[in-house]
Structure 1
Amino acid sequence: MARVDYFHDPHAPKANSLRPAVSAFVQDDAGRLLMIRRTDNDKYAIPGGQQEVGETLTQATIREVMEETGVAVEVTDLIGLYSNPEHVIEYDDGEVRQEFSICFRARPLGGDLRTSSESKEVQWVSLNEIDRLDIHPSIRLRINHALAETTTPYFT
């Protein structure tokens, strides 16, 4: 399903849904960041997705990272809670979702990098290479907060 992200755009459609989602900031022992290139908007992102009924937030995070990247992770910390009414995502089925995502820090446990129906590229990216990637501002914000390593989670 294709999507269009609107970020602080006065011409954005009005949101008609709000669904809990998770994302994961995962670094390997070399300090590289686990990134995907999304199939729905062609942008680079940290792995994540929608929480399903019957899952905890950490279970959803572990599942989403595995599904999108092939990497098993352990959730270790909360980075922040992201809900911005000025960021809406329009899907080709008519849904217009307001951003609502909980971002966790996680550490890799193993696995082999692989793509999925949601990720056309999966890679470990050196922090000095991040600026060359096309990353949506909402994802870049999460990365910046994770790199700041504050003791309290970010929230809006």
Structure 2
Amino acid sequence: MVRTEYFDDPGAPEVNSIVVAASAVVTDEGGRVLLQRRADSGLYALPGGGMDFGESLPGAAVREVREETGLDVEITGLVGTYTDPRHVIAYSDGEVRQQFNVCFTARVVGGALRISDESTDLRFVAPRELGDLPMHHTQRLRLRHFLEGRERPYLG
């Protein structure tokens, strides 16, 4: 399935769903950030995805990181909430979603890095190298908020 992201674009298709989703900024001992290159868009992004019935939002982040990267993580904090209605995500199956994402921080507690069918590349990236990767600006916003070391989570 192909995914196209829009931000503040009058040509974006009309939204027909909202899905509660979680993502995680996973860092290694050197402060590098785990990113995946999404198979559906070709862009680098934080691991994450929709919450399932019967699970908590932090639990969804843990599950999504495991499914997409092979790593087991522990949630350590909150980067922020990202619900800007100007961010629209369209899928080739006809779903057009308004963003609703809660981004956590996490650390690796086990597992082994492996590419899933949702990604074409996984890598830990030094903060100074993040600008070199193709990435939607909403992902860059989450990373910027994380790297700022904010006292309080972003609420947006």
Tell me the secondary structure at the aligned position of residue 128 of structure 2.
helix
* Alignment TM-score, normalising by the size of structure 1: 0.98
Q: 2:59 matched to 1:84?
A: no
In structure 1, how many angstroms separate the alpha carbons of the residues matched to 2:27 and 2:8?
A: 30
Shift of the alpha carbon at 1:137?
Answer: 0.6
Tell me the secondary structure at the aligned position of residue 120 of structure 2.
strand
Q: Deviations over 1:92-129 (max 9, x none)?
A: 11110000100000011122111111111111111121
In structure 2, how many angstroms separate the alpha carbons of the residues matched to 1:108 and 1:89?
A: 29
Matches within 5 A, 1:121-136: 121-136=121-136
Unaligned runs of 5+ in 2: none
In structure 2, how many angstroms separate the alpha carbons of the residues matched to 1:112 and 1:129?
A: 23
In structure 1, how many angstroms separate the alpha carbons of the residues matched to 2:3 and 2:107?
A: 29
Instruction: Give the match for residue 48 of structure 1.
Output: 48
One-letter amino acid of the counterpart of residue 19, structure 2: R
RMSD: 0.7
State the identity as a percent.
Answer: 49
When the two structures are aligned, how many residues end up with a matched partner?
A: 156
Instruction: Give the match for residue 99 of structure 1.
Output: 99
Instruction: Give the match for residue 75 of structure 1.
Output: 75
* Alignment TM-score, normalising by the size of structure 2: 0.98
Instruction: Give the match for residue 147 of structure 2.
Output: 147
One-letter amino acid of the counterpart of residue 66, structure 1: R
Instruction: Give the match for residue 65 of structure 1.
Output: 65
Unaligned runs of 5+ in 1: none
In structure 1, how many angstroms separate the alpha carbons of the residues matched to 2:133 and 2:16?
A: 30
One-letter amino acid of the counterpart of residue 23, structure 1: S
Tell me the secondary structure at the aligned position of residue 53 of structure 1.
coil
One-letter amino acid of the counterpart of residue 109, structure 2: L
Q: 2:44 matched to 1:37?
A: no
Q: 2:118 matched to 1:118?
A: yes
